[in-house]
């Protein structure tokens, strides 16, 4: 987290050194995604996808402008980039950008205008090499605010499988939402052909439960430590004040078992947590314990804030709790519900 913030500040503070004749370059379009691998930094803007070294020297760039072939055929659409001077009518907007280091690939997913999702697999060392592409929704189609995505390692009896976890802000469907999707609010997608189904498949031999919520949910952060996956979100339920919720999953032997392991708890601030909102999040490496810090707004605004530290290590308690103020499961629904319980109280730092 600190490394990414540092890089972001460097990028906006002054031009990074590039390969152009004058020794510098400017980013085209607003920054949308930034991620780091062992050797490179990857930045997606509205216009281009950039690959830089860790000292911010430009290595490769890839235009996100092109044309969409077979636009009327939902399962056969293909995005093709054009030359700098070529005619184009579509822009590939990236909402998920994940370096899959063990597979030497960069996963890039999002959508083009009037397109219900598109993904590419690029060469990790040379993003100009497109290895695979598919019209499929992975992550949100439009806004990246309120949604998170990262790679998750799930251990089975023989090997470790890597999946894409997407946790997407749920919003009220409007007339403009013409795309239909079977995705839930939290999903696990494939990353390679060795897994059951095709690349990006989110279901397996046993279709995983759909994790949904009746409340409005905005995800702030997520990560995996050892076998536990953590997600942090702001939850607004009806006319009740906002709550900050932590949910966690155990990376078990399959996608389905991992999603079924869902547990959760509301995080309480010094004033009880009613109406507080999580603004920023950071995990703190500490050996045996899992320490996490968050910046909370106590009144929903940016000025009255509080920094809290929580110990969120798994306690081995499999008991299920429900909290209607966090995530509510209607009696008539067969959807997977969120489960909540009070967690360790944070303290002001």
Task: Give residue-wise pLDDT tens across range 146-179.
Answer: 899 999 999 877 788 999 999 998 765 555 566 7
Rounded CA gap, 167 and 188, in Å? 9
Q: What is the pTM of this model?
A: 0.83
Residue 206: HSE in the Cβ half-sphere, 13 Å Cα cutoff: 10
End-to-end CA distance of the chain: 18
Q: What is the pLDDT of residue 17?
A: 42
Q: What is the pLDDT of residue 318?
A: 55
> Is the sign of the CA dihedral 252, 258, 262, 266 positive or negative?
positive
Could you tell me the pLDDT band of residue 195, with boundaries at 50, 70 and 90? confident
Rounded CA gap, 33 and 150, in Å? 12
More confident: 231 or 12: 231
Q: What is the pLDDT of residue 286?
A: 72
Most confident of 74-88, 141-155, 331-345: 141-155
Q: What is the pLDDT of residue 252?
A: 83
Q: What is the mean pLDDT of the chain?
A: 78
Q: Are 281 and 232 in contact (CB under 8 A)?
A: yes
Could you tell me the pLDDT band of residue 77, with boundaries at 50, 70 and 90? confident
Q: Are 52 and 35 in contact (CB under 8 A)?
A: no
Q: What is the pLDDT of residue 177?
A: 62
What average pLDDT does the segment 245-260 reach? 86
Is the pLDDT reported for residue 72 higher than 60? yes
More confident: 14 or 159: 159
Is the pLDDT reported for residue 9 higher than 70? no
- 318-326 long-range contacts (CB < 8 A, ≥24 apart) are 318/263, 320/263, 323/264, 323/266, 324/237, 325/235, 325/237, 325/240, 325/243, 325/266, 326/215, 326/235, 326/237, 326/243, 326/245, 326/264, 326/266
Is the pLDDT reported for residue 330 higher than 50? no
- Name the helix (H) or strand (E) containing 5: helix 2-13
Rounded CA gap, 16 and 45, in Å? 15
Could you tell me the pLDDT band of residue 213, with boundaries at 50, 70 and 90? confident
CA–CA distances in Å: residue 277 to residues 35, 234, 236, 267: 25, 6, 10, 10
DSSP string of 204-257? -SSPPPPB--SSEEEEEEEEEETTEEEEEEEEE-TTSPPEEEEEEEE--SSHHH
Could you tell me the pLDDT band of residue 27, with boundaries at 50, 70 and 90? confident
DSSP string of 8-34? HHHHHHSPPB-SSTTSB----S-EEEE
Rounded CA gap, 37 and 101, in Å? 7
Rounded CA gap, 139 and 142, in Å? 9
Is the pLDDT reported for residue 342 higher than 50? no
Could you tell me the pLDDT band of residue 198, with boundaries at 50, 70 and 90? confident
Rounded CA gap, 317 and 329, in Å? 21
List, in sequence order, the alpha helices (H) in 107-151.
none
């Amino acid at each position: 987290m600190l490394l990414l913030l540092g890089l972001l500040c460097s990028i906006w503070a002054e031009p990074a050194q590039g390969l152009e004749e004058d020794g510098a370059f400017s980013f085209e379009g607003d920054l949308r995604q930034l991620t780091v691998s062992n050797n490179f930094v990857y930045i997606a803007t509205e216009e281009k996808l950039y690959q830089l070294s860790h000292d911010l020297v430009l290595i490769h760039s890839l235009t996100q402008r092109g044309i969409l072939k077979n636009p009327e055929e939902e399962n056969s659409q293909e995005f093709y980039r054009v030359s700098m001077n070529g005619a184009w009518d579509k822009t590939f907007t990236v909402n998920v950008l994940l370096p899959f280091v063990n597979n030497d690939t960069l996963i890039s997913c999002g959508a083009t205008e009037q397109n219900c999702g598109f993904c590419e697999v690029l060469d990790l060392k040379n993003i100009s090499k497109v290895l695979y592409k598919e019209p499929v929704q992975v992550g949100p189609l439009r806004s990246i605010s309120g949604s998170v995505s990262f790679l998750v390692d799930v251990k089975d009896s023989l090997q470790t499988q890597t999946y894409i976890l997407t946790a997407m802000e749920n919003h009220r469907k409007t007339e403009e939402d013409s795309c239909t999707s079977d995705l839930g609010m939290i999903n696990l997608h494939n990353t390679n052909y060795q897994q059951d189904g095709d690349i990006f498949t989110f279901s397996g031999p046993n279709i995983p439960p759909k994790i949904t919520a009746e409340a409005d949910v905005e995800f702030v952060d997520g990560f995996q430590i050892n076998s536990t996956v953590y997600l942090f979100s702001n939850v607004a339920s009806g006319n009740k004040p906002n709550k900050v919720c932590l949910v966690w999953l155990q990376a078990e032997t399959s996608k389905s078992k991992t999603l079924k392991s869902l547990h959760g708890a509301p995080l309480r601030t010094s004033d009880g947590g009613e109406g507080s909102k999580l603004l920023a999040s950071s995990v703190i490496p500490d050996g045996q314990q899992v320490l996490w810090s968050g910046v909370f707004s106590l009144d929903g605004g940016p000025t009255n804030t509080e920094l809290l530290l929580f110990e969120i290590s798994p306690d081995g308690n499999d008991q299920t709790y429900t909290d209607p103020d966090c995530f509510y499961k209607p009696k008539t629904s067969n959807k997977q519900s969120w489960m909540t319980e009070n967690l360790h109280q944070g303290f002001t730092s």
